Structure 1
């Protein structure tokens, strides 16, 4: 019988990247590897044990710098994991992100046939992520990571994406990013919303009780699943010029453009939430990490006069809204890192440069967390009484999308929402605990 690891997290066995928020500013690199030789793959796992930092210490050997190693289902197969263990993974993970495309809204331009190669294919086996506050420390981390696959002819690097904070420290659409981070019981790492109670560790790390009071199913044997987490990686291209043109076409002034952008996101570009300053931006509030996420919705804004129910941040994290009874079981840890250069201010035509976000969604269940939020909250408005209306920023809109903004005396409805964010690829992975990496290295 599988037993919970207890309320205290085994931080020395959990990868640091699971629980620790990224630094600000940051630089990051994502590297995809293919395992062509099983013994080389197991040696890769052995070397990874000494490279991956655990969540036990306040910092890694390189400061706020860490390397994580995630493995796809095809990667576990390439490592020669026993069939009974392969079958114990979740069905979503075994199917892979590309096979779940229609459920996720990855259709049309975002469909897997249009993804960057080799994303979404059986060639992707291992995802190495290195993240640091600066280029110098990142290079040091990458040098350590390179040693995991150097002189291993059976391991091939097949894709790389470099990311870095934009000069504005905002994402490509111009909004401050990386604000919301949940507190996880036993982690010792504070959340960013003092009004949100810490979530049970089992919502994010396998082997612990979750919000429903049960122990989530985890891969077997126990050493493989315990202290591991599922992760969904997404490369998201942002159509910045199109977003700017849409704001301009639906506004009569620059100030109205900014208000409309804030209504669609739920925050002003500074990061200041509409919930705390609904009429104008507040740069000081937006920059204050102790205040800019300290709010709820229902007490004084159930209808959404301040923060529209259909805006991006209220959809992705309803907080205390009417779905609050189940919202906590759909909570995820979200990480975003920008790639590509900033589109110069005021430019309204696309310059042909790829820019956007590499996103990682971490949790204990791909199905009830990432896939549920993506399909039921971002790409469906039923839970807020808006029928088929999708998220105005990240939703899979097709030019016929609508967005309602409650206001007196009559609400405003925007029409013709296009797709501002296009999926360029993605992978479902598993972030094993450090003991699991050692177990994989010793497979006979």
Structure 2
């Protein structure tokens, strides 16, 4: 038996009587300083997050450039797994730390549901976690659009299998610092024969901050109430802390908890996905559907919602503006409802508008589906101008963080990325990451005649992934102290 007991009556999510209504109506007002509209909510409260107990990887934006690595572990011996948790609690960087224990680097640790079982967490406690987490990503593949060549039977082993128990993520400013950090972090699992490293993926962020398709990445970050980290859109108010961290009120007034509370508090769900990008195919498709290099770049911008520099169409609709794209104070400061409700500037079906409709009129409440997104490139870049696939594996390791797997990641993936009903586009999928099969299309609103791209292929193939939970530091210690 474990050294704690669960009360007979417990609930994973508690909420006030009005739990079905948002905590304050979402509306907008005009800023006296800029004259632009700002999204507001009826109630604004200041929340003091326990930053000393929250892993830094949850809330802190990543530096640039940087190098990163993902290492997966299998636990074969429960005692050694618990020792790994104890040691990890001393290595992991807290959100409150101005500097990591590893120097100019930090380490995060997450566990799968299989990992919690391997550590001996009782079923009564596991039952208080999100049911999507308990099922695992492979079991949710059809709902996520991971079908055909993206289906779990085609995933890179051991991704999506019961062998994946712990995910360690390390990042640093460069490869040398990264390896030094990993060497120091290795103290968490050295001399533990019952813990085996079974997979590793090295990643990198280029100085240009671009991903393999050539677009500037990592631009949009939501502000989290009480975190101390500013969001990238000054026109939006911070989201409730409970949207991203368990143990705090969310936008609906609900409170996500686990039993015991220490296990879930200050933790978050993390979705890790390895996404292979068909860069040559993407380039060839743009070339085949344009009549000049200028038209090709405009088409690329309409598909993404941004120019490759990162400049948004919303602020630079006719031409690229590299200075705007590189300006972190301006390149995400825009909304849609007033200036572009019909999508003539930024198409409703483009990637960035699907991922975050902001204040646009769509089915659902966009604030309830926001996530923290982190993407890191892997593999060698395809040289500029090359239109033939060289056979190399390249793409992004994606991490999505939030407190609600169902209404955040899974909703966005199934309803916004792989459907178009939410903005009146039928079954149209995201032109970049959607599970297209060559039969879909993408519409660009235009006067007097709209432009429609036909036969969209699948540009991004899922190589595998995991649903994980990133515990607070107290929870890591609690896991380490578990007793049979």
Alignment TM class, shorter chain as reference: over 0.9
Equivalent pairs counted in the alignment come to: 442
- In the TM superposition, 1:196-215 aligns within 5 A as 196-215=236-255
Task: Measure the CA separation in 1 of the matches of 2:358 and 2:474.
Answer: 35
Aligned residue among 427, 441, 444 for 2:480 = 441
The residue that corresponds to 1:228 in the other structure is 267
Instruction: Give the deviation of 1:64 after TM superposition.
Output: 5.0
Q: List per-residue Cα deviations over 1:39-96 (Å, max 9, x = no partner).
A: 0000000000110011012332345521000000000000001121111111100000
**Which among 112, 127, 143 is matched to residue 87 of structure 1?**
127
Partner of 2:169: 129
- Within 2, Cα distance between the matches of 1:416 and 1:441? 52
Instruction: State how 1:98-137 maps to structure 2 within 5 Å.
Output: 98-137=138-177
CA contact (8 A) 2:133 2:467 kept: yes
Give the corresponding residue for 1:304.
343
CA contact under 8 A between 1:318 and 1:324: conserved in structure 2? no
Aligned to 2:68: 28
Q: How does 1:215-254 map to 2 (within 5 A)?
A: 215-216=255-256, 218-254=257-293
In structure 1, stretches of 5+ residues that fail to align are none
For structure 2, the 5+ residue unaligned runs are 1-9, 16-45
1:145-201, CA deviations, whole angstroms, 9 ceiling, x for partnerless residues? Answer: 211111000010000000012354310000000001111011111011101110000
Counterpart for residue 386 of structure 2: 347
Distance 1:410 1:64, change over 3 A: farther
Q: Deviations over 1:233-291 (max 9, x none)?
A: 00000000000010011001111110000000000000000000011000100011110
Q: Secondary structure at the match of 1:299?
A: coil
The answer on whether the counterparts of 1:333 and 1:362 sit within 8 Å (CA) in structure 2 is yes
- The corresponding residue for 1:380 is 419
Distance 2:98 2:231 in 1: 15
SS in 1 for 2:239: coil
User: For the residues of structure 2 that align with 1:239 and 1:318, how far apart are their CA atoms?
Assistant: 26
Q: Distance in 2 between matches of 1:398 and 1:177?
A: 25
- The match for 2:209 is 169
Counterpart CA distance in 2 for 1:374 and 1:325 is 14
1:151 aligns with 2:191: yes
CA distance in 2, matches of 1:322, 1:336: 28
- Alignment correspondent of 2:136: 96
| Alpha-carbon distance in 2 for matches of 1:62, 1:82 | 33
Instruction: Give the distance between the partners of 1:297 and 1:234, measured in 2 at CA.
Output: 29
Q: Distance in 2 between matches of 1:246 and 1:232?
A: 29
Give, in whole Å, the separation in 1 of the partners of 2:250 and 2:99.
Answer: 27
TM-score, length-scaled by structure 1: 0.97
1:232 touches 1:426 (CA, 8 Å); kept in 2? yes
Give the SS at the match of 2:230.
coil
SS at match of 1:17: helix
Question: Is the contact made by 1:166 and 1:341 (CA closer than 8 Å) also made in structure 2?
Answer: no
Aligned with residue 72 of structure 1, among 95, 107, 112: 112
User: Which secondary structure does the structure 1 equivalent of 2:426 belong to?
Assistant: coil
Distance 1:141 1:191 in 2: 28
Quick one: distance in 1 between partners of 2:115 and 2:254? 29
Preserved CA contact (<8 Å) 1:400 1:415: yes
When structure 1 is superposed on structure 2, of 31-40 and 52-61 the one drifting more is 52-61
- Compare 144-153 and 352-361 and name the one that shifted more: 144-153
TM-score, length basis structure 2:
0.90
Whether the 8 Å CA contact 2:363–2:423 is kept in 1: the answer is: no
The CA distance in 1 between the partners of 2:101 and 2:85, in whole Å, is 20
In 2: Cα distance, 1:343 partner to 1:135 partner: 20
Measured on the aligned residues, the alpha-carbon RMSD in Å equals 1.4
Partner of residue 16, structure 1: 56
Change (3 A) 1:113 1:325: closer
Aligned pair 1:368/2:395, yes or no? no
Deviation per CA, 1:189-223: give whole Å up to 9, x if none. 1011101110000000000000111212x221000
Aligned equivalent of 1:359, options 385, 398, 403:
398
Deviates more, 1:353-362 or 1:54-63: 54-63
| Aligned twin of 1:403 | 442
* Residue 255 in structure 1 maps to residue 294 in structure 2: yes
